[in-house]
């Protein structure tokens, strides 16, 4: 029994609406991305897959993906928000004059000490994060292109905040 024209039109509407919802969600709400490089190890490894949310507000220590000047997308940790003062002394991060713990760096600090590096992060003087910008650092501080070299990240360069790792499956879950 062939389908009627009305049935075909109804199915075409359903397919079109579904495609529209998927495309709108990807453009304005969520986006899957792959991690490339070693600058965030061990937090992220090469080819990890994460889901970004494009509607959350960015806070200190959030993980963001942004468009770098060479048209590559980078994933880093937001250290400083607009108006924050960021400084590193003696491998200790200071945010607005207060020492801040960075538990996500423990594995990298241990590796650095075992390999003869006295500090994971070299000292840098105080940066005042301008309006409309972020100061970001990679978790693998000995091997990261971040705000120490490329400067502040403009808010409009941010694609989204990494919220969920979907691959590899053994690391599936919400990101901290």
Would you please indicate which residues are annotated as catalytic (active-site) residues?
39, 76
Nearest residue to 160 via CA among 28, 22, 52, 2: 52
Residue 108: CB atoms within 10 Å: 22
Burial 135-150 (b: 16+ CB within 10 A, else e): bbbbbbbbebebbbee
Cα 35 to its chain centre, rounded Å, is 9
For residue 98, how many other CB atoms are within 10 A of its CB? 8
Please check whether residue 159 is in contact with residue 47, taking contact to mean a CB–CB distance below 8 angstroms: no
The token pair that represents 165 in the structure block: 């790792």
């Amino acid at each position: 029994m062939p389908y009627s024209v009305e049935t075909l039109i109804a199915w075409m509407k359903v397919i079109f609406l579904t495609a529209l919802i998927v495309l709108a969600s990807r453009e304005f709400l969520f986006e899957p991305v792959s991690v490339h490089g070693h600058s965030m190890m061990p937090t992220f490894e090469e080819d990890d897959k994460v889901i970004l949310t494009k509607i959350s507000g960015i806070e200190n220590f959030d993980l963001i993906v942004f468009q770098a000047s060479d048209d590559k997308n980078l994933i880093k940790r937001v250290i400083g928000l607009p108006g924050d003062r960021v400084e590193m002394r003696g491998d200790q991060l200071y945010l607005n004059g207060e020492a801040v713990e960075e538990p996500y760096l423990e594995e990298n600090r241990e590796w650095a000490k075992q390999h003869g590096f006295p500090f994971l992060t070299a000292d840098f003087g105080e940066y005042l994060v301008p309006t409309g910008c972020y100061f970001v650092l990679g978790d693998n501080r000995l091997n990261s292109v971040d705000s120490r070299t490329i400067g502040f990240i403009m808010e409009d360069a941010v694609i989204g905040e990494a919220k969920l790792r979907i691959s590899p499956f053994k690391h599936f879950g919400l990101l901290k």
